[in-house]
Chain A
Amino acid sequence: MIDEIITAGIDIGSSSAQAVILKNNSILSFSNMNVGVDKKETAANALNKALEKTNISRDDIKFIVGTGYGRYQVSFANKNVTEITCHARGANYFFPGARTVLDMGGQDCKAMNCDEEGRVTAFVMNEKCAAGTGRSMEVIARLFGISLEDIGPMSLEVQEKTPQLGSSCVVFAKSEALRMIRNGIPRNIVLAAYCDALVHRILQLINRIEIKEELVISGGIAKNTGVVKRIEKSLGIQAHICFEPQIVGALGAAIIAKKMFQENNEKSEK
C-alpha cells in the first residue's frame, strides 16, 4: 500500500470541461473551462490548468480517469468511466449522506440512487425526445442576451402560473420563446415557463427512481437557482449543492482513479 497517491479526473462535457487533482482524499486543485473545438486539446488544457495551481508535475499523477460525454477524447487517461458513476462518487465525497443525485448536462439529464459509498444502485436517463432539454436554457439565455446565472433570479420574480410549453423538440425552443414574446408575454415569464418545463421533465425522470434523501444536484444546472428552487419546492426536499457543482464529475473520476490504481497494485503485488 503506497502512502501517498495522487490521481486526476477529467470531465469533458458537451459545453464545459473540468479537471480535478486528488491527493489521497483531498482536492489538491481543480480547473473549469469551456470546451474548445478540439476536445483532446481541451482535456490537456484542463489538466494543465489544474496542475499550474500545484507544485506537483504531470508525472506525479499515478492514474487518470476520463469521464463525461467526451471521455473518449481524454487520450491520456488510463481509463474511462461514465459521468453517471462519477457524479455519484463525487457527490458522495461532499455529502456522504447523498442517496439521490441529479445531474443535468447539455445533452442528457441523469438521476441516480447511490449507496453510502457512492456506488450507483439505480439510474435513469431522459427519453429520446427529451434530449437536449438542458440546452434549451442556453438557447434562451443567448436569445435574451443574459447569462445562465441570471435566469434563476429573473424567473423567480414570477408568481403567476406560467404558460405551458409544447412537448416539442428542443430545437424549437427558440421559436417557441419568440412566439411567446410576440404574443406579448414578458421575458421573465418566458424564462419561468422554460424553468417550469425543464423542472417538469426532471421530475418525471427522478420519479422513475426512488427519491431518497439526501438529494444532491450537480452539474451546470445546479447554478440555475430558478430550476433548483423549483425542484426543491415540488419535491419538498432541500437539495445539497457543493461550492463548485460542475467539478463533481471530475472529482468522482479522480476518486475512482485512486481506487483503480490501488486495485491494480494489489493485482501486481500478487
Chain B
Amino acid sequence: MTTKGDFETRSFSNEVWSRMKELRRERYKLSFEAQTKGGLCVTGFAWGYLPLLAGFGNFGNPSPGTDFTRIAREGAGSEGLVKFVNLAESRGLYPVCGAIAAHLGQVFAGTSFGGSTGNKIMPDFVFQPQGCHAQYKGGQICADLLGLPLLVIEAPFKNTANSRSYLYSQLAEAIEWIEKHTRHKFNDELFIEATRHDIHSRVMWAKICELMKAIPAPMSYRQAMSLRLPLVAYAYSKGTAEYMEMLYHEMQERVKNQISGAPFEKKRLAHEGLHPLYRPDLLRWPEEYGAAFNQGEFMMAFGSFRYTSDGHRIPGQTLEERGIELKSREDALKALVEQRYPLEEENTDYDSPEWRTLHFLRMVEDWHIDGVMVHLARRCAALCLGILTRIQDIRQAGIPVATYEASEGDPKEWNESRVREDFDRFFDSLGLKKIASLDGGDSGADE
C-alpha cells in the first residue's frame, strides 16, 4: 500500500508470528516423526475430536493431500495443483468437490505423506469425523487407496440427548477400536489435557473474532487466515492454547490503541463461503478500494461460539470459566460431546434456513458489516447449500450483496478477469473508488 490510510496499521508482533510458525512447524514435524518416535500417524479430512487421538500421545496428522495452506501456496493455475485435480478426474472423480479432488489427486500421484520429499510415511489408519459428505466419502477413498482401516465418527445435525449419547458411545468405542487396530495404549491424563486445551483454544478464537467488532478491526481477514492456522489441526496442544491467549491479548492491545488490520474501513465487508484457497490474496482485494473483509462464517469456523435466544453470536466459555474440572475419561468425552451439542442449545434447530439467516443478519449487525461478498464455489455441494436462499434474505434486509464464482480447491474454475469484474462491480455499486493497488499480491499475510 502506498497511500496513507485512515488508520494506523501495524504487523502483529514477532512473538505472535514466530509462535504461530513454530506451532505450524511443530505439527508438521510431528506428522513425519511421530511414528518413528513410537507415536501414531493418522490422516483424514476434517479435524474434529483430535484430543481423542492425543490421548495416545504425540501423533502425526498429515492431511491426505497436502494441506490447504499448501494448496494456497501452489497458486491458481499452477501446474502442480491442476495436475492433481486432473489426475483425480482421470480416475473418474468428476464432477465432484474441487478440494477433495485436489487432495485425492495427490494420493493418486503418491506425492502425499512425504511421497514428494522422499521420506514417505504411511499413516496407521484414516480417522474420518463427519464433515461434509464429500469429506466423509473422500476419507473412504483415501483409505481404499492406501489400504488402511477407516474409522468414522458421525454427529447428526440435531442437538438432542439422542445425538449426544450416539456421539458419546462412538467416541468411547473409537478408543477401543484404535487400541485394537494399532496396539497403542490410551492415556486418560493426556486425553483430559488435550481436551482442555482444545476447548480453550477454540473459545479464545471466538473471543478474538469478537474483538473484530471494534472499529477499526484489529486484524485483517487475510491475517486471520494465517494466524488461525494452529487452530485447524493443532488446537488440542498446550502450545496452541497459550498462543491463542497471547494473540487475544495482543488483539486487545491493538483495539485499545486503534491499530487496524487494514489501512481503510470505508466499508466493512463479510466474505461468505470458503474462499479460493489457491488465491488467498483475493481476501485483500477490497483494500485497493479502501474497504476490508472483516467477518464471515469461515472466519468463525473452528471457534467455539454460542447463540443467544435472539440469534446473537457470543463466545463460548472455557472449562475454567464454567467451573468444570475434568477428572476422568468420561468427563473429557462428555466435554467433547458438549462442544458439539451445547446443552443450553438442546432441541434448537440452528441448522434451519430461518436460524442460519438470523445468525447471519446478527453478525452483520454486531460486526458492523456494510456489504457481503459471496463465493459460489462451483462443484461444492456443502458450503453453498442454502446460500442463495440466504442471499435472498440478506437482500430483503437491504444489505448489499454480490457473488463471484470459482472453486475453493480447483484452480481450473478460476477466471481472474471474471472474478475481478464481479469485485469491481460490487465496489462500484458501494460507491468505492480504486485508491491503490496491492504491492506484491499476498504480502499482507506477513508470513
Whether B415 contacts A166 by the Cβ 8 Å rule is yes
Kindly identify which residue among A127, A166, A179, A207 contacts B414, using a CB–CB cutoff of 8 Å.
Answer: A166
CB-defined contacts of B92 to chain A, threshold 8 Å: 208
**A127 in contact with B415 given A164-B77, A204-B86 (CB within 8 Å):** no
CB-defined contacts of A200 to chain B, threshold 8 Å: 86
Does chain A have a CB within 8 A of B412?
Answer: yes
Does chain A have a CB within 8 A of B94?
Answer: yes
Does chain A have a CB within 8 A of B89?
Answer: yes
CB-defined contacts of B413 to chain A, threshold 8 Å: 166-167
**A204 in contact with B90 given A127-B95, A164-B77 (CB within 8 Å):** yes
* B81 smallest CB distance to A (angstroms): 11
Kindly identify which residue among B82, B86, B87, B417 contacts A179, using a CB–CB cutoff of 8 Å.
Answer: B417
Q: Mark B395-418, 1 if CB is under 8 A from A, else 0.
A: 000000000000000001111011
Alpha-carbon gap, A167 to B410, bound state (A): 10
CB closest chain-B residue, reference A201: B86
**A204 in contact with B415 given A127-B94, A164-B77 (CB within 8 Å):** no
Does chain B have a CB within 8 A of A168?
Answer: yes
Kindly identify which residue among B87, B90, B91, B412 contacts A167, using a CB–CB cutoff of 8 Å.
Answer: B412
Which secondary structure dominates chain B's binding surface?
Answer: helix
Alpha-carbon gap, A89 to B108, bound state (A): 33
Q: Mark A144-174, 1 if CB is under 8 A from B, else 0.
A: 0000000000000000000010111000000
CB-defined contacts of B86 to chain A, threshold 8 Å: 200, 203-204, 207
Whether B77 contacts A204 by the Cβ 8 Å rule is no
**A204 in contact with B89 given A127-B94, A164-B77, A167-B412 (CB within 8 Å):** yes
CB-defined contacts of A207 to chain B, threshold 8 Å: 86-87, 90
Alpha-carbon gap, A204 to B95, bound state (A): 13
Whether B414 contacts A208 by the Cβ 8 Å rule is no
Whether B415 contacts A168 by the Cβ 8 Å rule is yes
Q: Mark A185-214, 1 if CB is under 8 A from B, else 0.
A: 000000000000000100110011000000
**A208 in contact with B90 given A127-B95, A164-B77 (CB within 8 Å):** yes
* B409 smallest CB distance to A (angstroms): 14
CB closest chain-B residue, reference A161: B79
Within 8 A of A (CB), among B89-123: 89-92, 94-95
CB closest chain-A residue, reference B78: A164
CB-defined contacts of A203 to chain B, threshold 8 Å: 86, 90
* B80 smallest CB distance to A (angstroms): 13
Alpha-carbon gap, A56 to B414, bound state (A): 58
CB-defined contacts of A127 to chain B, threshold 8 Å: 94-95
CB-defined contacts of A168 to chain B, threshold 8 Å: 415
CB-defined contacts of A204 to chain B, threshold 8 Å: 86, 89-90
Within 8 A of A (CB), among B411-447: 412-415, 417-418
Alpha-carbon gap, A200 to B86, bound state (A): 9
Alpha-carbon gap, A33 to B82, bound state (A): 39
* A98 smallest CB distance to B (angstroms): 21
CB closest chain-B residue, reference A163: B77
* A43 smallest CB distance to B (angstroms): 36
CB-defined contacts of A167 to chain B, threshold 8 Å: 412-413
CB-defined contacts of A166 to chain B, threshold 8 Å: 412-415, 418
CB-defined contacts of B91 to chain A, threshold 8 Å: 208
Alpha-carbon gap, A204 to B418, bound state (A): 25
Alpha-carbon gap, A127 to B92, bound state (A): 11
Q: Mark B307-333, 1 if CB is under 8 A from A, else 0.
A: 000000000000000000000000000
CB closest chain-B residue, reference A128: B95
Alpha-carbon gap, A200 to B94, bound state (A): 15
Q: Mark B55-86, 1 if CB is under 8 A from A, else 0.
A: 00000000000000000000001000010001
* A166 smallest CB distance to B (angstroms): 4
Which of A127, A166, A168, A207 gathers the greatest number of chain B CB atoms within 10 Å?
A: A166
CB-defined contacts of B417 to chain A, threshold 8 Å: 179
Within 8 A of A (CB), among B321-359: none
CB closest chain-A residue, reference B412: A167
Alpha-carbon gap, A120 to B3, bound state (A): 66
CB-defined contacts of B95 to chain A, threshold 8 Å: 127
Alpha-carbon gap, A149 to B115, bound state (A): 43
Alpha-carbon gap, A164 to B415, bound state (A): 10
Which of A167, A179, A200, A208 gathers the greatest number of chain B CB atoms within 10 Å?
A: A167
* B413 smallest CB distance to A (angstroms): 6
Alpha-carbon gap, A139 to B293, bound state (A): 41
CB-defined contacts of B87 to chain A, threshold 8 Å: 207
CB closest chain-A residue, reference B95: A127
* A192 smallest CB distance to B (angstroms): 16
CB-defined contacts of B412 to chain A, threshold 8 Å: 166-167
CB-defined contacts of A179 to chain B, threshold 8 Å: 417
Alpha-carbon gap, A167 to B379, bound state (A): 13
CB-defined contacts of B414 to chain A, threshold 8 Å: 166
CB-defined contacts of B89 to chain A, threshold 8 Å: 204
CB closest chain-B residue, reference A209: B90
CB-defined contacts of A208 to chain B, threshold 8 Å: 90-92
Alpha-carbon gap, A204 to B87, bound state (A): 7
Within 8 A of A (CB), among B130-162: none
Alpha-carbon gap, A263 to B413, bound state (A): 51
Alpha-carbon gap, A208 to B92, bound state (A): 7
- Can you offer 25 A-B residue contacts whose CB atoms are under 8 A? A127-B94, A127-B95, A164-B77, A164-B82, A166-B412, A166-B413, A166-B414, A166-B415, A166-B418, A167-B412, A167-B413, A168-B415, A179-B417, A200-B86, A203-B86, A203-B90, A204-B86, A204-B89, A204-B90, A207-B86, A207-B87, A207-B90, A208-B90, A208-B91, A208-B92
19 new A-B contacts, CB < 8 A, other than A167-B412, A200-B86, A204-B86, are A127-B94, A127-B95, A164-B77, A164-B82, A166-B413, A166-B414, A166-B415, A166-B418, A167-B413, A168-B415, A179-B417, A203-B86, A203-B90, A204-B90, A207-B86, A207-B87, A207-B90, A208-B90, A208-B91
Chain A residues within 8 Å of B, Cβ to Cβ: 127, 164, 166-168, 179, 200, 203-204, 207-208
Q: A-B pairs with the 7 shortest C-beta distances?
A: A207-B90, A166-B415, A167-B412, A164-B77, A204-B86, A208-B90, A204-B90
